[in-house]
Structure 1
Amino acid sequence: MKKLFLLLGLGLLGAAPAATAQIYSPQEPLAHTYSIVARDPKTGEMAVAVQSHWFSVGTSVSWGEAGVGVVATQSFTNKSFGLRGLALMKQGKSAAETLKILLSDDAGREVRQVAILDAKGGVATHTGKKCITYAGHITGKDFSVQANMMLSDKVWPAMAKAFQEKAHLPLAERVLAALDAAEAQGGDIRGRQSAAILVVPGNSNKQPWNERLVDLRVDDHERPLKELRRLLTVQRAYEHMNNGDLAVEKNNMTLAMKEYSAAEQLQPNNLEMQYWHAITLANTGKVDDALKILQPVFKADNNWRILTERLPPVGLLTVSAADLKRILEVK
């Protein structure tokens, strides 16, 4: 790695020697990779997803803000493109205008690869002439796929095709399909190490702490895309759990049970999901049904039985003393 920086510092990529110290540095990750920026025209949601043979690629490549847009900055990554790009779009600049401004004063633009998508679906992408072969991009309606240092030039066309063919899927699953297609064509010539996916709403509710619909990273893994998909499945399960809790608050127990069951189908071995499903049943008078769920949960981990004793004082378990005794003594 030090040798690579030395070569760059000597200007062997064609950049002026006096400027190279500012263009290339160990603080700018060499995120040679493939990625996608995309928008769902039905929901307005915007996503950026990436995979690379580089540690924690999501911390440098992926940027997004609700109601504004998303940015993928890669190859010799310029992380300032992320925040600066979002700031420009927030000021009303289009994706194309934003990209032009970012590249206008970047002495390293020929080794950069960047894709920008704005909240209106506008897309702008740049692949520098000195990005490592194979490198290229394809832009389409509401999306752009881009890649560099790939095993072959079939990677980004496969991504574009997969994204377009999976229009029936939610946006997160759709961009993951594009990443899978890239990997099926050989992906990064170095292999694989990390991956990330970020999805933000098309409109801001002025609560930025609640405006990342999906924000998942796999920083170091032998099969990062498989692990990323597993994490997305876990998130979907917890979304069903949260919907179930909301239904309970609204006293819609039919919907609550449906949501809890959907969560457990996605995560059949998750004891906590089973446990709270049972507690909800008990609170609605279905203690016998609750006992059927709690028996194997308590057997697997007695701490859930101990926790149950602590729920009545805070109002999370509202059963009679007799029913509480039945629950605690279930074997």
Structure 2
Amino acid sequence: MKKLLLSLGVLMLSLQASAQFYSKDAPFAHTYSIVARDTVTGEMGVAVQSHWFSVGTSVAWGKSGVGVVATQSFTNKSFGPRGLTLMKNGLTAKLAMDALLEVDEGRGVRQLAILDASGNVAAHTGKDCIEAAGHYVGNNFSVQANLMEKASVWPAMAKAFEETKGSLAERMLAALEAAQAEGGDIRGKQSAALLVVGAENTGNEWDDKLVDLRVDDHATPLKELRRLLNIQQAYQYMNAGDVAVEKGNIKEAKKMYQKAQQLNPENVEMKYWYAVTLANNKEFEASKPVFKGVFEKDRKWQQLLSRLKKVNLLLITDKELKELEKL
């Protein structure tokens, strides 16, 4: 009971201190979005697309171990940080949403979705949101849209999310792509964003976001967002490879580096560090053609060899170094 009273006290202070009422100056974010939680990993996320510049900076909010918020239509940006604070202090998604809307005179033009770390979901579509507008709350997710070409957009999003396999980020992106295929924003498309946070609070703000990708202005933002997600996944494999090297597991490192290259085959740096790993693992002959391919793209990577050897990051002989410098 004391904890609940404390949370309610924090709630009232938060709302009184920063209540933001509807005004004609409120930023637009007529859009479609999804908030969702992976029931296996506990990861939570928000994904959004709109015909508006830099939509992710207004709509998508999240904090590891706490929850996520999507605030759109005539956007009340304060719903993001305030909603997260309320959930951090013990309120469920529904209680947090009700508290935010209670003191908001613009609730009729707001669209809001909140998901907490337990998977509770709450959504609101104001009666004055521009048609087609609506939302659907499913198991550990909610899809919401306004100013859509047709009312079948958000049901298509829900179907895609439920039927797609893969990571939370991939499933949410699939929901956005389904919305666009169904007609999407009646005005077209311009920006998109993808945010994923962890199931637990690490205590480190700098580690809070597992995925944080934005396309602020692009002719095909979802296509660009998928490209960026693939690159991020490739670098995650690179990082895993680096960790494997540190642990002396060269076989695992090579496997991770190869997966990274498969996702991002044009990235010469990934090939370069793969070649370095081969050379350091006494597979010098195998490393040579990989190095050669990199050097043909950019000779500056060749200049880096002696610098790496100097600090013992490239474990080859002077003779082998000269051989690589002649490639």
Question: Shorter-chain TM-score: which interval?
Answer: over 0.9
Q: Kindly indicate whether residue 314 of structure 2 is the aligned counterpart of residue 292 of structure 1.
A: no
* Counterpart secondary structure, 2:185: coil
Provide the C-alpha distance between the structure 2 equivalents of 1:125 and 1:98, rounded to a whole number of angstroms: 11
Q: Kindly indicate whether residue 231 of structure 2 is the aligned counterpart of residue 231 of structure 1.
A: no
AA matched with 1:165:
E
Displacement after TM superposition at 1:104 (Å) = 0.6
Provide the C-alpha distance between the structure 2 equivalents of 1:250 and 1:288, rounded to a whole number of angstroms: 24
Match of 1:174 in 2: 171
User: Given the alignment, which residue of 117, 134, 144 partners 1:146?
Assistant: 144
TM-score (norm 1): 0.92
Provide the C-alpha distance between the structure 2 equivalents of 1:41 and 1:283, rounded to a whole number of angstroms: 41
Match of 1:248 in 2: 245
* Counterpart secondary structure, 1:79: coil
Displacement after TM superposition at 1:314 (Å) = 1.8
Displacement after TM superposition at 1:49 (Å) = 0.3
Match of 2:5 in 1: none
Provide the C-alpha distance between the structure 2 equivalents of 1:107 and 1:253, rounded to a whole number of angstroms: 60
Provide the C-alpha distance between the structure 1 equivalents of 2:312 and 2:190, rounded to a whole number of angstroms: 46
Q: Kindly indicate whether residue 31 of structure 2 is the aligned counterpart of residue 24 of structure 1.
A: no
Q: Kindly indicate whether residue 300 of structure 2 is the aligned counterpart of residue 303 of structure 1.
A: yes
Match of 1:266 in 2: 263
* Counterpart secondary structure, 2:209: coil
Match of 1:116 in 2: 114
- Identity value in percent: 59
Where in structure 1 are there 5+ consecutive unaligned residues? 1-20
Match of 2:56 in 1: 58
Displacement after TM superposition at 1:25 (Å) = 4.4
Provide the C-alpha distance between the structure 2 equivalents of 1:134 and 1:80, rounded to a whole number of angstroms: 25
Structure 1 residues 227 and 141, CA gap change in structure 2 (3 angstroms): same
AA matched with 2:175:
A
Q: Kindly indicate whether residue 321 of structure 2 is the aligned counterpart of residue 324 of structure 1.
A: yes
Match of 1:74 in 2: 72
* Counterpart secondary structure, 1:93: coil
Q: Kindly indicate whether residue 219 of structure 2 is the aligned counterpart of residue 222 of structure 1.
A: yes
Q: Deviations over 1:83-138 (max 9, x none)?
A: 00000000010000000000011010000000000000000000000000000000
Match of 1:131 in 2: 129
Q: Deviations over 1:7-49 (max 9, x none)?
A: xxxxxxxxxxxxxx952244x3200000000000100000100
The root-mean-square deviation of aligned C-alpha atoms, in Å, is 1.0
Provide the C-alpha distance between the structure 1 equivalents of 2:201 and 2:254, rounded to a whole number of angstroms: 31
TM-score (norm 2): 0.93
CA contact (8 A) 2:21 2:104 kept: no
* Counterpart secondary structure, 1:213: strand
Q: Deviations over 1:172-205 (max 9, x none)?
A: 0000010001001100000000000000011112
Provide the C-alpha distance between the structure 2 equivalents of 1:45 and 1:25, rounded to a whole number of angstroms: 36
Displacement after TM superposition at 1:316 (Å) = 1.2
Match of 1:9 in 2: none
Where in structure 2 are there 5+ consecutive unaligned residues? 1-19
* Counterpart secondary structure, 2:170: helix
Provide the C-alpha distance between the structure 2 equivalents of 1:193 and 1:275, rounded to a whole number of angstroms: 35
Displacement after TM superposition at 1:296 (Å) = 1.4
* Counterpart secondary structure, 1:23: coil
User: Which shifted more, 245-254 or 313-322?
Assistant: 313-322
User: Given the alignment, which residue of 101, 104, 113 partners 2:99?
Assistant: 101
User: Given the alignment, which residue of 297, 309, 322 partners 1:312?
Assistant: 309
User: Given the alignment, which residue of 37, 40, 52 partners 2:38?
Assistant: 40
* Counterpart secondary structure, 1:73: strand
Q: Deviations over 1:53-97 (max 9, x none)?
A: 000000000000000000000000000000000000000100000
